[in-house]
Amino acid sequence: MNKTELKKFAVEARRDLLEKVALKAEQYGITKENPELTIEENYGQLIVNGKTFPTDLKHALHTLQNRLNTVGYEQLIEEVAYTWFNRIIAIRYMEVNNYLPDRVNVLSSSSGKNEPDILLQYETMNLDIDEKQIKDLIHQGDNEQAYRKLFIAQCNALNQLLPFLFEKIEDYTELLLPDYLLDQESIIRKIVNELSDENFYQVQEDGSPKDNVEVLGWLYQYYMSEKKEKVGGLKNTAVKKEDLPVVTQLFTPKWIVQYMVQNSLGKLYDEKYEDNQLAKHWEYYLKHEENHHLYSEFDSLEDLKIMDPACGSGHILLYAFDMLYDMYEEAGYPSREIPQLILENNLYGLDIDKRAQQIANFALLMKAAEKQPRFISRLSRKGINPKLNVYEIVDADQSLSEEAIDYFVENETEKSLIKELMDQFENGKQFGSLINPIEVPYMEWKNRINDMENQQKDLIEESYSNELKEKLLPVLKQAYLLYQKYDVVVTNPPYHNKYNPVLKKFMNKEYNDYKTDLYSAFIYKTSLMTKENGYSGLMTPFTWMFILSHKKLRNYVLSEAMISSLVELEYSAFEEATVPICTFVIQNQLEKTLGHYIRLEEFKGADMQPIKLRDSVVNPNVEYRFRRYSSSFSDISGSPIAYWASEQVRKIFRESMSIDDVAEPKQGLATGKNERFLRWWFEPSSEKIYKNNINKYKWVPVSKGGAFRKWYGNRNFVVDWEDNGKELKKFTGSVIRNPTYYFREGLTWSTVTSGNVSFRYHPDDSIFETKGSVLFPKDNKQLKILFGYLNSNLVNYFLKSISPTLDYHEGPMGRLPYIPTENVEIEKMVSENINIAKADWDSFESSWDFITHPFINNKLKSTKLSETYTKWEKECEERFQTLKKNEELLNELFINLYGLRGELNSSIEDKYVSVSKAELNRDSKSFISYFIGCLMGRYSLDIEGLAYAGGEFDESKYKTFKPNPNGLILLTDDHYFENDIIVRLREFLSVAFSPDTVDENMRWLAESLEMKKNESPEERLRRYFLDEFFKDHCKTYQKRPIYWLVDSGKQKGLRTLIYMHRYQPDTMATIRFDHLQEIQAKYQNEIEMIDTRLANPSLSATDRRNLEKDKISYQKKIEELQEFDKHLAVYANEPIEIDLDDGVKVNYAKFDKVLAKIK
C-alpha cells in the first residue's frame, strides 16, 4: 500500500469532485451566490430556475431541493462529492478483487483497452437498461453518454447489495454526477491510472494476493485531510456541528487495533475457552498469569456483541471480524455460514459521519467476501442485502407529526416517551454516542413500525406509516444500539475540548465530572455500555492518567472497574498527530484488580512501539512491563496512573508532606495581548525599567519561563506595570493573578516544557507571568534547601509519576513530596550554584546585568586576544565542572535523604548543566558585537554595564573610545571614509588591548570567523560586518534587533546600522545626505579611476577584465542607490517619531521600505 500515492489521489480527487459537482449544480441554476432551487411544472415540462427539464427528473429534483434547503449549498456540494468518491472507490475495490456481481470491469479494461469493459460487455450483465439505446449511442460515437447510463445502471444494481452506499438513483446525487466520466482527467480515469492495483490487495508470503480493506479507511482519511486542516485539525478550536466529524477523525494504527481487540475480545475468549489454540498466535496479547474465569455471560459465539461507538471507517470492526472468524472456525461452524453470522450477530458500530459509516459497512462486506469469495454472489443471486449493524447517528427529524405519533402510540405515556426520545436526539449528529437514551420498549416499537407496513391501510394510514418509518425508526435503531450493553466495546474516540455552546451545555449536563475532553467522556461512556465482567478498549491521549482535571475520571475507573492492561506510547510515537497516546483495556469488575502495564517511553519512533510491545509478550519479564493493583495508585495524591513508581516512591508520596505544606506555588498574570504589554528588556528605554528607576518606571521585570536553565537566568522580559498596572488591569483580556505575591523573592520555573523542569531564582524586583509560575517558601529559611531539592534529579523523577506531560503547572508542583531538613552544606552549594549561573548569564549582552565583555574583564585580559580567550576557556570549564560537581553532590544528598539509593543515579549529563563552555566562534562574534555596541554608544570602556539605552546622551561617559556620531555605522566593502569600520576596530583593539598587538588580534578575530582561502583578516572582518553581522544580531536579540540595518539591496550599495535608542526624527535625512550621497560619489570616483586605467593600452587582458568587472559592479551599485533614494527620500523629507515603548516590531515596520528583512 503506497500511502503517498493514496494521499495524492484522494486530495486531488476531492478538489476535482467539488469543482465538477458545483459545475453540475450550475446547470440547474444553483450557485454559491444563488443557492436557491425553484421548480414549476408547465405543459408537461419542469421549469427549474428558469431552465427546462423533462418531467421524469421530478422526483430527483425535489429531493435535491429538499436537501439544499436542509443543509445549504456548501454542505450539499461536499456531500455529493464524497458520496461519488465513496461509490467510485467501492466499485474500484470490487473490480480489482473480482467481487462485482457480474464480474465485468466498470471503470477499467481487463485487456488494456482505452474503454472500460462495461461498454463492450453490458449485454452480458444484469442491468436495468435500454440495450438498444446504449447500442445506438455507441454506434453514434457517443461513448460518453452511453457510459454515463451504464455507470448509473451499475450503481442502481448495487443498491440491492449495498443500499447504504448506492441509494436508488432517482436520488439527487445522480443529477450532480459530474460530466465527462471518460475524460483522461476524470476521477474514474485517475483511480485506474494513478492508483496501482497493489493498493487494493496485499501480496502474502506465498505470493498470493489478499484483500486490503484497510485501504478504504486511508483513502477516506486522506480525502478529508485538507478540510480537516482548514477547520482546525487537532488544534482544539471550537468548530461547527457539521465539522466535528472531520476535526475528530483519526486513523487508528493497525497494531493498536490488534492490541485493543486481542486484549478485550481475545481475553474474554481466552478466559472462557482456556484450551483454545488461537491465543498463542495473538502478537499483542498480554496474557495474565492466572485465568480467573471472569467474563461476561454468553452461551455461544453468536451471543457475543462487540461495539465500536465511534467506528469511523471500521478499522476496529474489521479486525474483530478476523478474530471472530477464527473463533467460529475453531468452534466448528461451517465456514460458508460464518461471515453472515458475524455481520448479523456480533459486530455493531455507530458514527456521526455518514461518509465513514458508508465505508465501514462496505469494508465489512468486503471482509466477508475475503473470507468467503462467493459470499457476495450468493447474496446477489438470492436478491437480498445483508443485515449490517453499523449506523450513522442522525439528528431526530423534529417534523414528525402529532398525527403520526398518535397513530403509533397506545397511550399517553408512550407519546411522552417518544417526544422525550426525539428531543434527546435533536442534536444526534453532534452528541453522537455520548447520548444516554431513555428506557423504552425499543424492540417492540421497531416491530410495531415494521408490522404497520404489512397491514392493509388507507392512504392516510400509509402516509403515517411511511412517516414513522422515515423519521422515528432511524432514531429507535440508533438509540437501541446505545441503550443495550455489550460484551466488548472498543473504540478510538474523538479528541476535542473546545466545545461550541450547544456541545458545552450538553457536556456540562450529561458528563460534568468527565467533561475535560470528548475522549474522557467516552472512557466513562464505554464503561457504561459494557456488561458486567465485559471489556472496553480505547486509544486516547494519556493526559487522563495524570492531570488534575481528570481526577474524577481516574477515581471512577479505579473504583468501578479495573485496568486489565495499558500501553503507554513514547511521547511522539503517534504519527497522525502530535498527541501523547496510550491504549488500554478496562474490565467491568473489581474482584481481581492486578493489571499489566507497558511503558514504551524510552523507545523512540513509531516503528519501535509495536516491536517492543511484541517483545513484552514474548518475554513478560522485560523491565518495561509492570504489574500493579489498582489500589496502589491512591498512594500518590490525585491517584495518577503511575504504574512504574516503585514501592519506595509510593511510600515517599504516601508518608511525606508535600511542597504545598512548605511553600505556595502561584500562577502569574496573563496579559491577554503580549504584543501590547510585554517587551524584551532591551527594547524600551532603560530609564523606564523598574530595577533602574524605582521611583518612576513603566516596565517591570517579569518571569516568563523559557528554556531549560537552572539556578539563575531567563530574565528576558519586562511588562507594562505603570501606575501599578493600571492599563493592564483595565484591559478586557488580561488576568491579574496573585498580585500580593508580586515583588517577592521566590523560585520560578517554566510551566510548559518538553524536557526536564528547571528552577531559577526569582528576585524581589520582579513579578511573574502565567508560563513562569513562582514557588514562594512559607519560611524563607527553607528557600535554599527547597531550591536544592527542586533542582535535583528526584523532582523530575517524581514529576513523571504525577504529570509526565508538557504542562508542569502549580498543581503537580504542589503535590511533590518533601522531607524537611537542615543542612549547611546544601545551602552553601545552592548559594554557589546561583552565583555561578548568574556569572555565566551576565557574561552575555543578552543579560540586563551584563557589565562588560569577558575579553575586556581585567581578570582575564591580556594584550593578546588568543591568550585572553585561553583564560576565558579555562574559567568557563572551571565554572562548568564546579556546577556539575555541586549538582551531583546535591543529588547524592537528596537520594540518601529520600531512601532512593540504587533506584536513582546522582550523575548528570553535560547537556543538563546550565552554564556555557567557551565556544570560539560564538565568543568572538559576541566580542565583535560588544565592539559594535561601543561604537554605537550602548557600551563604554570607561563604565560598567549600559552606557546608553535611552534618555539623555552623555558624551562624558566615553573618554577612552569615542562612539560614532548619531549612533550610525556605515558598512562598506572598502576603506572609503575616515571612520571606516575597520579603522574603528583597529582603534578599539589598540586602546582596549595594546597598539602593538592590533594586527595579531585582527588575525585572531578573522580566523575565529573562519577565513576563505587567500582572504586577508581585513577582508574577512569586512565581509562579516557587511554580510553576516545583522543576521547574528537578530538571532542574539530574538528577532528584535536594536541595531537596525538600512539596506539598499543585493548590490550592497548602502548598508548602515542605526542604534534604535539613538534614533532621531532626522536620522534618515542624515543617512541620506552623509551616507548615501557620499558613498554614491565615492562609487562614481572609482568608476572614473577605472576608466583612466582602462585607457592604458599596455594593460594586460586579465587586468582589463577585472577592471571592467569592477566597473560594472560600481555601476550597479549606483543604479541601486538611485532607485533606493526614492524610498529613503520619503523618510528623510517626512521625519518619523518613534516611541521605544512600542517595541522593535512596531517601530521597525515604520521603515519597512529601507530596512533589511529581519531573519
> What pLDDT does residue 1048 have?
96
Q: Are residues 946 and 905 in the same domain?
A: no
Highest-scoring range by mean pLDDT, 48-52, 72-76, 99-103, 989-993: 989-993
**Residue written as grid cell 511521547:** 571
Burial 112-144 (b: 16+ CB within 10 A, else e): eeeebbbbeebeebebebeeeebeebbeeeebe
> What pLDDT does residue 66 have?
84
pLDDT band for 944, please (50, 70, 90 cuts).
very high
Final residue in a domain of this structure, among 644, 675, 691: 644
**Mean pLDDT, the chain, whole residue set:** 91
Q: Are the beta carbons of 320 and 347 closer than 8 angstroms? A: yes
Q: Are residues 992 and 1134 in the same domain?
A: yes
Digit-coded pLDDT (tens) for 276-288: 999 999 999 999 8
> Is the per-residue pLDDT at 75 higher than 90?
no
Residue 494 belongs to domain with CATH number: 3.40.50
pLDDT band for 45, please (50, 70, 90 cuts).
confident
> Is the per-residue pLDDT at 44 higher than 80?
no
> What pLDDT does residue 219 have?
85
> What pLDDT does residue 445 have?
94
Highest-scoring range by mean pLDDT, 576-585, 754-763, 946-955: 946-955
> Is the per-residue pLDDT at 934 higher than 90?
yes
- Quick one: CA dihedral 579, 581, 587, 589, positive or negative? negative
Helices (H), 682-752: 726-730
* Structural element, H or E, at residue 48: strand 45-48
Q: Are the beta carbons of 522 and 496 closer than 8 angstroms? A: no
Residue 679 belongs to domain with CATH number: 3.90.220.10
Query: Beta strands of 924-1042 (E only): which ranges?
Result: 968-971
Final residue in a domain of this structure, among 612, 644, 676: 644
Final residue in a domain of this structure, among 199, 223, 247: 223
Q: Is residue 1158 part of a domain?
A: no
Q: What is the C-alpha separation between 586 and 678, in angstroms, rounded?
A: 47
Q: What is the C-alpha separation between 645 and 32, in angstroms, rounded?
A: 59
> Is the per-residue pLDDT at 731 higher than 80?
yes
**Which amino acid does the sequence have at 29?**
G
Digit-coded pLDDT (tens) for 586-624: 999 999 989 999 999 889 988 999 999 999 999 999 999
Q: Is residue 78 part of a domain?
A: yes
Q: Are residues 94 and 190 in the same domain?
A: yes
Whole-angstrom Cα Rg for the chain: 38
The more confident residue out of 196 and 261 is: 261
What percent of the chain is predicted at pLDDT more than 90? 69
Q: Is residue 1155 part of a domain?
A: no
> Is the per-residue pLDDT at 754 higher than 90?
no
Please give, one letter per residue, the 3-state secondary structure of 560-625.
HCEEEEEEECCCCCCCCCCCCEEEEEEECCCCCCEEEEEECCCCCCCCHHHHHHHHHHHCCCCCCE
> Is the per-residue pLDDT at 47 higher than 90?
no
Digit-coded pLDDT (tens) for 615-651: 999 999 999 999 999 999 999 988 999 999 999 999 9
> Is the per-residue pLDDT at 234 higher than 80?
no
Collapsing DSSP to helix, strand or coil, 295 comes out as coil
Question: Which neighbouring-strand residues pair with 287?
Answer: none
Q: Which of 599, 597, 575, 603 is nearest to 585 (CA)?
A: 597
Q: Is residue 1156 part of a domain?
A: no
Phi, psi (degrees; rounded to nearest 5) at 600: -105, 20
Sequence-distant (6+) residues with CB within 8 A of 437 are 421, 424, 479, 480, 482, 483
- Angle, helix 608-618 to helix 254-261, in steps of 10 degrees: 30
Digit-coded pLDDT (tens) for 1059-1099: 999 999 999 999 999 999 999 999 999 999 999 999 999 99
Burial 1078-1095 (b: 16+ CB within 10 A, else e): ebbebbeebbeebeeeee
Q: Which of 978, 447, 1038 is nearest to 706 (CA)?
A: 1038
The number of folded domains in the chain is 6
Q: Is residue 649 part of a domain?
A: no
Digit-coded pLDDT (tens) for 169-223: 557 888 888 989 888 889 999 998 888 888 888 776 666 667 788 888 888 888 8
Q: Are residues 588 and 734 in the same domain?
A: no
pLDDT band for 478, please (50, 70, 90 cuts).
very high
> Is the per-residue pLDDT at 236 higher than 60?
no
> What pLDDT does residue 378 have?
80
Report residue 557 as a C-alpha cell. 475507573
The more confident residue out of 579 and 817 is: 817
Digit-coded pLDDT (tens) for 124-133: 988 888 899 9
Q: Are residues 846 and 932 in the same domain?
A: no
> What pLDDT does residue 233 have?
52
Q: Are residues 195 and 140 in the same domain?
A: yes
Q: Are the beta carbons of 481 and 525 closer than 8 angstroms? A: no
Q: Is residue 274 part of a domain?
A: yes
Q: Are residues 898 and 811 in the same domain?
A: yes
* Burial of 509 from C-beta contacts in 10 A (0-12 / 13-18 / 19+): exposed
Q: Are residues 451 and 338 in the same domain?
A: no
Residue span of the structural domain in which 760 resides: 657-912
Q: Is residue 851 part of a domain?
A: yes
Q: Are residues 520 and 471 in the same domain?
A: no
Collapsing DSSP to helix, strand or coil, 539 comes out as strand
Neighbours of 752 (CB within 10 A): 13
Q: Are the beta carbons of 779 and 661 closer than 8 angstroms? A: no
> Is the per-residue pLDDT at 80 higher than 60?
yes
> Is the per-residue pLDDT at 385 higher than 80?
no
Q: Are residues 387 and 473 in the same domain?
A: no
Q: Which of 63, 35, 34, 58 is nearest to 47 (CA)?
A: 58
- Angle, helix 793-802 to helix 783-790, in steps of 10 degrees: 70
Q: Is residue 556 part of a domain?
A: yes
Q: Are residues 491 and 479 in the same domain?
A: no
Q: Are residues 885 and 827 in the same domain?
A: yes
